[in-house]
Amino acid sequence: MTRLVVVSNRVADLSKGSQSGGLAVAVGDALQERGGLWFGWDGNVTAQSRRLPANVHKDGPVTTVTLPLTQKDYKEYYLGFSNSMLWPILHYRLDLARFNKGDLKGYRRVNSKFADALRPFLKPDDVIWVHDYHLIPLAAELRQRGLPHKIGFFLHIPFPPPDVLAAAPEYEWLLRTLFSYDLVGFQTHADVANFERHVLAQGGEVMADGQVTAFGRTIMVRRFPIGIDVDAFAEMAVTREAREEIGRLKRHQPAGSHIIGVDRLDYSKGLPDRLRAFERLLELYPENHRRVSFLQVAPPTREDVEAYADIRLELEGLAGAINGRFGEYDWTPLQYIHRNVPRSTLAALFRGSQVGLVTPLRDGMNLVAKEFVAAQDEADPGALVLSRFAGAAEELQEALVVNPYDVDEVAAAMQTAITMPVEERRNRHAALLRRIRQYDAKSWQDDFLKVLDAVPTGPAA
Ligand code: GDG
């Protein structure tokens, strides 16, 4: 078997048993199984501006090779172009995009540095799998250095249509650099269709078998909806510790229903609208007073980006207002935790809740939706309320699918979920569970790597 080389912005610490993010779990498993190399940023920012040697660390079958970023790289490549320009635009939030020419330079510079630093570690028949929007031009950089390897790219976040992406500076260049890969994977049919629209607008050609030609190169483009390790997550929800945690949750709110939301505190996750929808639930359906409580876990993320500080303040204001308006001395309708919670506790909280509320305004996939389903008790499962703008909605059609911008509609779906008869909950849950098992984390990585192994490499672009 050829060696797998994974490149992502951050490299997870494989010595920590339970990884939290979706990418870390899915990619970490593929590497542990096949063996290979994981290359990326170590998460440190150094005051030094000269190039430091990469840190090489061997952990069983996996070698990690990591680099720190300089302060300038961190500011321009990470905070700037990746997270203040590409993240908002790819999530259709043109209003939040901040363009700065220096950031674009920094983005190009770091991709070029990554290519330089990775090159000496590559063996001739390695297969390279690059992840996410931070590293779109990496294959082009590697090709410029004459590397003929098979290189695949997977975008974890949405890919918008031409009218939206055109707001990114040099977006044609970004598009062209994608054609230096041999395989480009997206989360959903909608993302693939958007990519094809770009290709056609450039005078390129889209063939029925997933091959796409433009800029003088033919590549393979396909959907690979990322999944979770269903059994591993389900097992975490039924340990003795998990049962104790569920017991504590129920004691805190004895007679009622629990609604749960878990999201990084990111504006793409639709948290202010979700809180407003909960407020509407209490307004429109007052029978829920004292009977329903909503727990929102929202760990901090990218706090150095301005838009993230704004959303934090907005959310704290809303949470306080809702509790002030509806709370009683013996009932707190909304609990808001702005900290990271252990993964095993999340599994327990999902299982102890009657409603999973997953209402991003836009999301590549959303693994929380799949984790909520995996954690449920099949005999008495909770119901999932899911945004139609989460990639997961393409698969999870038996959820209560809602428009997250319409707070009355979300409130009505919560009410339907709270009052849903057990028979209907079981039927919906069984169908959802089948779907998340059908294409899980392992199918995702196997499928991607199988297709990548099979594609022919074209001439370097
Ligand atoms: C990107 C795309 C795509 C959350 N809070 C805590 C915690 N989490 C875990 C969840 C889940 C993961 O983090 C989040 O994954 P999502 O898929 O929901 O969202 P993003 O982080 O935005 O991920 C997304 C994904 O990449 C994979 O391709 O699905 O669309 O945006 O596993 O459970 N984990 C712990 N504590 C927390 O407080 N331990």
Instruction: Express each pLDDT in 327-343 by its tens digit.
Output: 999 999 999 999 999 99
Answer whether residue 460 shows pLDDT above 60: no
φ and ψ at residue 189, rounded to 5 degrees: -60, -40
Nearest atom within ligand 1 for CA of residue 392: 29
Per-residue model confidence (pLDDT) at position 176: 97
Tell me what the mean pLDDT of segment 10-38 comes to: 77
What is the pLDDT at residue 19? 55
Residue 285: which pLDDT band, with cuts at 50, 70 and 90?
very high
- Ligand 1 centre to CA of 8 (Å) is 16
363 flagged as catalytic: yes
Side-chain-side CA neighbours of 174 within 13 Å: the count stands at 24
Residue 359 has pLDDT above 90, yes or no: yes
Q: Look over the chain and give the mean of its residue pLDDT values, rounded to a whole number.
A: 94
Ligand 1 centre to CA of 139 (Å) is: 26
**What are the boundaries of each domain within the chain?**
4-227+442-454, 230-438
pLDDT of residue 128: 98
Q: What is the pLDDT of residue 21?
A: 64
- Three-state SS for 345-388 is HHHHHHHCCCEEEECCCCECCCHHHHHHHHHCCCCCCCEEEEEC
Provide the pLDDT for residue 29.
Answer: 76
Residue 155 has pLDDT above 90, yes or no: yes
Across residues 268-295, what is the average pLDDT? 97
Catalytic site residue from 131, 156, 258, 429: 156
Mean pLDDT, residues 273-300: 97
Residue 122, pLDDT score:
97
Say yes or no to pLDDT of 4 above 50. yes
Q: Which of 226, 267, 335, 346 to mutate to test the pocket of ligand 1 (most atoms within 8 A of CB)?
A: 346
Is it the case that residue 129 has pLDDT exceeding 60? Answer: yes
Question: Which range is least confidently modeled, 36-50, 149-163, 428-442?
Answer: 36-50
pLDDT at 178 over 60: yes
Does 368 sit in the ligand 1 pocket, CB within 6 Å?
yes
Nearest alpha carbon, ligand 1 atom 12:
21
Q: Write the pLDDT tens digit of every residue in 210-239.
A: 999 999 999 999 999 999 999 999 999 999
Residue with tokens 């770091």: 110
Q: Is the CB of 157 under 6 A from ligand 1?
A: yes
Residue 296 tokens read as 């929102």
Our answer on whether the CB atom of 19 is closer than 6 Å to any ligand 1 atom is no
Q: Which residue has the higher pLDDT, 459 or 311?
A: 311
Where b means 16+ CB within 10 Å and e means fewer, 261-272 reads bbbbbbbbbbbb
Indicate whether 23 pLDDT > 90: no
pLDDT tens digits along 381-407: 999 999 999 999 999 999 999 999 999
Ligand 1 near 346 CB (within 6 A): yes
Give, to the nearest 10 degrees, the angle between helix 367-375 and helix 422-438.
120
User: Ligand 1, closest atom to CA 158?
Assistant: 30
Q: What dihedral angle (degrees, nearest 10) is formed by the CA atoms of 263, 230, 225, 81?
A: 30
For the CA atoms of the chain, what is the radius of gyration?
A: 22
Distance 263 CA to ligand 1 centre (A): 7
Q: Is the CB of 344 under 6 A from ligand 1?
A: no
Instruction: Please tell me the distance between residue 401's alpha carbon and the centre of ligand 1 in angstroms.
Output: 20
Distance 436 CA to ligand 1 centre (A): 16
Owner of token pair 């779990």: 25
Compute the distance between CA of residue 131 and CA of residue 27 in angstroms, rounded to an integer: 10
Counting residues of the chain whose pLDDT is more than 70, the rounded percentage is: 97
Is residue 229 in contact with ligand 1, taking CB distance under 6 Å? no
Q: In the predicted model, what is the mean pLDDT of residues 130-139?
A: 98
Please give the pLDDT value at position 1. Answer: 74
Model confidence at 87: pLDDT above 70? yes
Whole-number pLDDT of residue 461: 43
**Residue 435 corresponds to which tokens in the numbers above?**
């779907």
Q: According to the model, what pLDDT value does residue 459 have?
A: 46
User: Which residue has 């339907």 as its token pair?
Assistant: 416
Structure tokens at 166: 């055109």
Q: Which atom of ligand 1 is nearest to the CA of 269?
A: 22
Q: Is-same-fold flag (4-227+442-454; 230-438)? A: yes
* Distance from the alpha carbon of residue 14 to the mean position of ligand 1, in angstroms: 17
* Three state DSSP letters for the chain: CCCEEEEEEECCCCCCCCCCCHHHHHHHHHHHHHCEEEEEEEEEEECCCCCCCCEEEEECCEEEEEEEEEHHHHHHHHHHHHHHHHHHHHCCCHHHCCCCHHHHHHHHHHHHHHHHHHHHHCCCCCEEEEECHHHCCHHHHHHHCCCCCEEEEECCCCCCCHHHHCCCCCHHHHHHHHCCCCEEEECCHHHHHHHHHHHHHCCCEECCCCEEEECCEEEEEEECCCCCCHHHHHHHCCCHHHHHHHHHHHHHCCCCEEEEEECCCCHHHCHHHHHHHHHHHHHHCHHHCCCEEEEEECCCCCCCCHHHHHHHHHHHHHHHHHHHHHCECCECCEEEECCCCCHHHHHHHHHCCCEEEECCCCECCCHHHHHHHHHCCCCCCCEEEEECCEHHHHCCCCCEEECCCCHHHHHHHHHHHHHCCHHHHHHHHHHHHHHHHHCCHHHHHHHHHHHHHHCCCCCCC
Ligand 1 in reach of 226 Cβ (< 6 A): yes
35 alpha carbon, distance to own chain's centre: 24
More confident residue, 314 or 27: 314
Give percent above pLDDT 90 in the chain: 85
Does 386 sit in the ligand 1 pocket, CB within 6 Å?
no
For domain 4-227+442-454, say whether CATH 3.60.20.30 is its number: no
230-438 CATH pick, 2.60.320.10, 3.40.50.1260, 3.40.50.1580, 3.40.50.2000? 3.40.50.2000
The two tokens of residue 395 are 């698969």
Please tell me the predicted confidence (pLDDT) of residue 18. 52
* Full strand arrangement of the beta sheet holding 62-70: 55-59, 62-70, 36-46, 4-10, 127-131, 150-154, 183-186, 217-223, 211-214, 205-206
Task: Give the model's pLDDT for residue 14.
Answer: 73
Would the pTM count as exceeding 0.75? yes
**Torsion of the alpha carbons at 171, 176, 180 and 184, rounded to the nearest 10:** 70
Average pLDDT of the segment spanning 177-206: 97
Residue 134 appears among annotated catalytic residues: no
Q: Which of 83, 132, 187, 264 to mutate to test the pocket of ligand 1 (most atoms within 8 A of CB)?
A: 264
372 CA distance to ligand 1 centroid (A)? 12
Nearest CA-CA partner of 359 in 258, 273, 265: 273
Residue 242 · residue 344 · CB < 8 Å? yes
Task: Tell me which residue of 199, 268, 295, 229 sits closest to 25, measured CA to CA.
Answer: 229
pLDDT band (50, 70, 90) for residue 266: very high
